[in-house]
Amino acid sequence: MKGSNVALTGLLLAFTVACGTQPASRPADSYTGAGSDVEHFASFEAAVRSADAVAFVSVIGSAPGRTVTVSTVTLPFTNVTMKVLEAAKGVATGAVIVVEQTGGATPNGALVSDTDPPYRTGTTHLLLLRSIPAGFRIISSVGRYDVVGGAIRRNEHADFPNPFVGKTATELITWARQLR
Amino acid sequence: MFNLVFWAAGPLSRTADAHYFCQVWPYSQQIGVLSLKHWNQVSASTYPEFGDAIYNWNTSPTAAYFQYGDQYNWQVHSVNTDYGNTGWAGYTVVHGSCGSATDASVLLNDYFLVGYSYYARRHVEAHELGHALTLDHAPSGYASVMLASDYTYWAVAQHDIDDMNARYPR
């Protein structure tokens, strides 16, 4: 390999490492996970219509959930407890629900899902949920919208625009209720 | 997200918004190839297209190359089982501190995959192998096997080749 190519490669890799996609707070010994969604939606409205529950929630806490071990590979899950602040369908306002999340604590650190990073107590989110035996899960990588400062944030994994980005969860919930 | 400015051939013909995991495989200047050993526990009779997905990456004009190792000598470990109604058909975990991948696990979820068509499974498997190479999801609008919510592309596409070559120059 020519010297110029080596220098360029080193520069590029250094730049890549320096500009990594993950938060600086992630553990030194950590795991990044990402997957292939099962459910696909052509629009935000289609996703909302498909969801079993649509709710504006506040995170109460989380606890380690089930683990699945195959060979030497153990996949952890986390059960996140949330209070429903407002609901469009599928759950009642004021209810406490459990959302199962892929990822969580591992013996050596933490597995962080790229499309569904860990929830922190007190944060608020607009979730499109699918019912499962353990409670709920988000419908896919497009099922989670963080709500910060009262405004809905963009979900960068969504293949379609969310017309409510920047608006309040109440506005979205009000609209979603009318879809039924 | 990390933005690497380079040109990618995609249906929108725009500057790529390349997404990667923070972990990256060590690059060997001597061989110029990213060589991942692969211990395949996925039954060929269950998922025969898994080998096709590996061949697809191995013959792409990138540094990607998966070769079979053994139970003591591997970097990418693929397994399949019923992980339940998780919402994902495949899931890949890359282990290591940012800047240094040490190993990866490709998890195939029988709960969904058993009922999939050949091409849907090909998408999932090629997609997960892309994650094992530390590629993250491609932005919507691109022709890419790395789209999270679109199974249209079941083979490595030009966008994926460009992303790989930007991260692992040959």
- Report DSSP letters for A27-41, one per residue: -SS-EEEEEEES---
Would the pLDDT of A32 be above 70?
Answer: yes
Predicted local confidence at residue B42, as pLDDT:
65
Predicted local confidence at residue B27, as pLDDT:
64
Predicted local confidence at residue B45, as pLDDT:
64
Q: Do A137 and B86 touch (CB under 8 A)?
A: yes
Using pLDDT thresholds of 50, 70 and 90, give the confidence band for residue A180: low
Cβ distance A105 to A64 under 8 Å?
yes
Would the pLDDT of A103 be above 80?
Answer: yes
Secondary structure class of B106 (helix, strand, coil) = strand
CA distance A176 to chain B (A): 22
Would the pLDDT of A93 be above 70?
Answer: yes
Q: For B127, what's the count of Cα atoms within 13 Å in the CB-facing half-sphere?
A: 32
Q: Do B93 and A28 touch (CB under 8 A)?
A: no
CA distance B156 to chain A (A): 15
CA distance A93 to chain B (A): 25
Region of poorest pLDDT, from A12-21, A87-96, A157-166, B95-104: A12-21
Q: Do B92 and A28 touch (CB under 8 A)?
A: no
Q: Give the amino acid at B94.
A: V
Which residues does chain A have within 8 Å of residue B1's beta carbon, measured at their own beta carbons? 21, 156
Predicted local confidence at residue A87, as pLDDT:
97
Q: What digits encode the pLDDT tens for the residues A115-145?
A: 899 999 999 999 999 999 999 999 998 899 9
Rounded mean pLDDT, A148-155: 92
Secondary structure class of B39 (helix, strand, coil) = strand
Would the pLDDT of A12 be above 50?
Answer: no
Helices (H), A61-128: none
Domain range for A102: 2-177
Predicted local confidence at residue B14, as pLDDT:
26
Mean pLDDT rounded to a whole number for chain A: 83
Q: Tell which residue, A154, A168, A155, A13, has the closest CA to residue B34.
A: A13
Rounded mean pLDDT, B143-153: 87
Nearest to B105 among A40, A73, A114 (CB): A73
Which residues does chain B have within 8 Å of residue A138's beta carbon, measured at their own beta carbons? 87
> A87: which strand partners?
A55
Mutation target among A36, A38, A44 for the B interface, most CBs of B within 10 A: A36
Number of domains in chain A: 1
Mean pLDDT rounded to a whole number for chain B: 77
